[in-house]
Amino acid sequence: MTFVVTENCIKCKYMDCVDVCPVDCFYEGENMLVIHPDECIDCGVCEPECPAEAIFADTEPGLDTWLTLNAEYAQVWPNIAVKRAPPPDAKDFDGVPGKFEKYFSPDPGQGDTGGGATAARGTPQTETAPER
């Protein structure tokens, strides 16, 4: 089992989850976070900390596509272990439906080093919008 970041993180990107993760398994995209499924120790401390309620156990139905997205982007986005402030308009996007199709960005975030993923690592292409 692992935990999975889902659509409601897009454009909210609260980092309360990052602050409590004991193994630093979060990775930062331009406008959302993902969890590396092979690094997550399934402790569950991140799930209740997410103000956007965007984190779920992968045992919940309908999360297969999100699990794939988390695994793919955790390979190319930079690690994030230090909480920063969310985007100023995060509350405006909390709960908005259809955020993947409208707002998802495959671009890396700054991570803890301020750099972002290297171009040599590539960017996976997700063809369809995940459910949920």
Q: What is the CATH number of the domain that holds 27?
A: 3.30.70.20
Sign of the alpha-carbon torsion through 122, 128, 129, 131: negative
129 belongs to a structural domain: no
124 belongs to a structural domain: no
Q: pLDDT: is 48 or 120 the higher one? A: 48
Do strands 3-5 and 55-57 pair parallel, antiparallel, or not at all (unpaired)?
antiparallel
118 belongs to a structural domain: no
> Which residues are registered as beta bridge partners of 27?
34, 79
Q: What is the pLDDT of residues 83-114, one digit of tens each?
A: 999 999 999 999 999 999 999 999 999 999 75
Which tokens in the block code for residue 39?
A: 């690094």
114 belongs to a structural domain: no
Q: What is the pLDDT of residues 7-24, one digit of tens each?
A: 999 999 999 999 999 999
Which tokens in the block code for residue 107?
A: 């671009």
For the chain, how many structural domains are there in total? 1
Structural domain of 42: 1-83
19 belongs to a structural domain: yes
100 belongs to a structural domain: no
Question: pTM of this prediction?
Answer: 0.86
